Chain A
């Protein structure tokens, strides 16, 4: 699976949009981009995933560049409860491909 690179930490003001970047320059054509987040002492929670089109759900939006070498997770109106570690993962669609988590980005939402 392709390796991802994320900034170790970010701050965001409450109510503003949080934009979390992820670089995956070695991604291959059949690999999806997944985003998870982990609130302290809990298991990671799925947020969103995509292949090449931008995706939106009730939690967030995922913007993938045209060359698919990077993506941005957008939390449109960050709240204090969004403070967590956010993981960007690249994974092939086949059952045998695994989820490899890096160290993620620690997002702190500031009141």
Chain B
């Protein structure tokens, strides 16, 4: 069966520090991968999606970036965090083939920028 993991689960970082959140999917090949962010009391905002290694599409211009160095690995990064980067970050995937449209989410990473 397929599983998705992301880490760290919780992170407290000072303003201006770098960020790296990692997500991996197991049990499938060539997944579509996504990063979402949820600010406190808000809905989910799509940040990035990827349909293959090295292929990243950005939805919202900001100081965040994403990379996909391997087929089942998706990384969210920042060189210098802002207070507004605080939130709940969720990685998700969908199958490339036999895609019913169902989106599978990881456990989430809660980031607090102080």
Contacts and interface: CB of A to CB of B under 8 A. Distances in A.
Contacts of B7: none
B103 A44 contact: yes
| Interface size classification for chain A | 20 to 34
A43 B105 CA distance: 5
Contacts of B101: 32, 34, 49, 91, 93
Contacts, number: 52
Task: Specify the main secondary structure of chain A where it touches its partner.
Answer: loop
A36 B96 contact: no
Contacts of A43: 90, 92, 105-108
Interface string A77-98: 0000000000100010101101
Nearest to B49: A98
A12 to B, nearest CB: 21
Contacts of A36: 103
Contacts of A46: 102-104
Given A44-B105, A99-B34, 13 more contacts: A34-B101, A42-B107, A43-B90, A43-B107, A46-B102, A46-B103, A46-B104, A49-B100, A87-B44, A98-B49, A102-B43, A103-B42, A103-B43
11 contacts: A42-B108, A43-B107, A43-B108, A87-B43, A91-B101, A93-B101, A95-B99, A96-B51, A98-B49, A101-B45, A101-B46
Give the 5 A-B residue pairs with the shortest CB-CB distance, closest first: A43-B105, A101-B44, A103-B43, A46-B102, A101-B43
